[in-house]
Each structure stands twice: as structure tokens, then as C-alpha cells.
Amino acid sequence: MMFVKPRKNLQNRKYKYSIFRILGNETPPRDAENARLKTLEFILDNEPEFPNTVKCWIVNCIHDRERREHICHMLNERNMYYVIVPLWRQKYLEANNRSAKVTQIVGINRARNFAIKHGHTFSDFTFVLDGDCFFSQDLWDRASQEIAEDQKINKNRKYYSTPSSRSTFEHAAKSNDPMLLAEPMLIFRHDSDRYFDENIPFGEGDKLRFLYELGHSSEPSKHHILINNNLCKSISMVQHVTGSDYEIELDQKLRIKLRNELIDLFGR
């Protein structure tokens, strides 16, 4: 898979942490119009800068050129580091089944693996987040402190997870409490060697199987719970904000239904 050259080079610098967020296409009917752009704007405007940390963005397979350019303009205005992953339309058209088409047009696990590998080259720990995840200062301080303290005791630990809370903008801006706990986001030490399975299409447990391997619960609605901490430790929390109707976040069956409608469109 080929990536467009990153906007600037970080190879000669070394950070304690890198935070990668993966930005994807708007996904109606799951998303309201421009919801993801509003979410990006909220994060850029409200998330603090963190010491010894670089924020990185993966602009992943955005098929609408104007929207992609809009995203890049927003990131450029904040002098953010980002990488563009192009959508290979020909490979999408050549895909001969639904799963292959979905994998080409979304490619979420390819993007996650790129974040891990790229983060390893210039940071000690790489946070791999969905594009709508947001850290307040307090939540970040807790996360970095808990990693540092655990590393003193468990020097062989290479993986951490942080539960995500499906939250509104208003809640995330003023509170560090969870609204609705959901799938955790993962953190990788620079010498970790596990990766996401790129053969699993979006919407078919693309992240869940990895979570199970690291010791997370396989019980529905409880994936954020770590039941075996031999490989991984659960730390802090991250806000998973939405610019769409929050009622969708509260109704898991509706979320799945809307997501599947989108996947059906991708798979045509």
C-alpha cells in the first residue's frame, strides 16, 4: 500500500508519546451532514497541547476531494502533522466481493497498522485513536502518569488500552466523567510486535479480535473491561465525541443498523 508523503519529517526527533487519529469519510445515515468536520474542529479548538507529545492525523481514503482539501486546510492552519492515505479507486472497482470492496474503501486496519509502525519510529508510546477522540488535560495527565508508573513495575508491558466514552461536545468540554463507556483505544510501546488483522473488513469486528487477544471482555457492551491484564493494562479514559444526534450513540441496535446500511453501500 502506498502513502502520500507526510507533510513534514519527524524521523530525526524522538517524542515520549505520539497520538494518531484516523480521519475517515462522512458516513450517512450514521453521521449528520458535516458532523465529522465539526468534530475535527472541536478537537483542534479544545484539546490542549501536551509535553513531549506529537499529534498526528491520518487522512484515510477520503473519496470527496473538496472534503479532503477542507480537512487538510484545517490541519495546516494548526500546523498539524498529517499523512494522506489515498483511496485507490481502481482497486475498489476491481474488488470482486463485498468484503474486499469495503476493505478497499475504508481500510481502517491498514491505517491503524500504519500508525503503529510510523509511531514506533519517533515515539516511545503510540496512541492509535479514532478520529473523534479527545483528551482533556486531566485525562491526558492520568494516562501518561499511569503508563509511567506501570512501566516502573512491569518493564515488559508493551500494550495499554484506554476506555472511550461516547460523549457530546458539551460534556467532553467540561467533564472527565464517562457518559457511555465503549470500545477502548489502544496504545503501543515502541517495541510492540502485534498488529491489527488487515483482512477483517470494517464493521466485522475489525478491532474486537485484537481487544480479545489483549484480554478484553468479549461480552457485548463490555468490551472496555479488561479481564486479563497479562499483556495489557487499562488506563485513564478518552472522550469519543460526536457531532451527530446523540440518541444514536445511546441506541446500539440503531448504530449497528445504520452502520450496516453504509457498509451495504460500500460493498456494491
Range of the domain at 231: 18-266
Report CA torsion sign: 221, 133, 138, 123. positive
- Inside any domain, residue 9: no
- pTM of model > 0.85: yes
Number of neighbouring beta carbons within 10 Å of residue 35: 18
- Inside any domain, residue 6: no
- Provide the number of structural domains found in the chain: 1
What is the per-residue pLDDT for 210? Answer: 97
41-50 residues labelled b (16+ CB within 10 A) or e (exposed)? ebbeeebeeb
What is the per-residue pLDDT for 1? Answer: 47
- Inside any domain, residue 134: yes
- Inside any domain, residue 7: no
What is the per-residue pLDDT for 145? Answer: 98
Number of neighbouring beta carbons within 10 Å of residue 200: 18
Average pLDDT, the chain: 88
- Inside any domain, residue 10: no
DSSP states of 42-80: HHHHHPPP-TTEEEEEEEE----HHHHHHHHHHHHHTT-
Q: Which three cell numbers stand for residue 268?
A: 456494491
What is the per-residue pLDDT for 243? Answer: 73
What is the per-residue pLDDT for 2? Answer: 46
- Inside any domain, residue 187: yes
Residue 238: C-alpha distances to residues 161, 183, 184 (Å): 10, 11, 8
SS3 of 209-230: the string is: HHHHHCCECCCCCCCCCECCCC
Residue 236 and residue 133 in contact, taking contact as beta carbons nearer than 8 Å: no
What is the per-residue pLDDT for 259? Answer: 59
Residue 61 and residue 1 in contact, taking contact as beta carbons nearer than 8 Å: no
Which residues in the chain show pLDDT less than 50?
1-2
The domain spanning residue 77 has which CATH number? 3.90.550
What is the per-residue pLDDT for 31? Answer: 62
- Inside any domain, residue 64: yes
What is the per-residue pLDDT for 254? Answer: 64
Triad 222, 125, 225: Cα angle to 5°: 10
Phi, psi of 13 (to 5 degrees): -115, 160
- Inside any domain, residue 139: yes
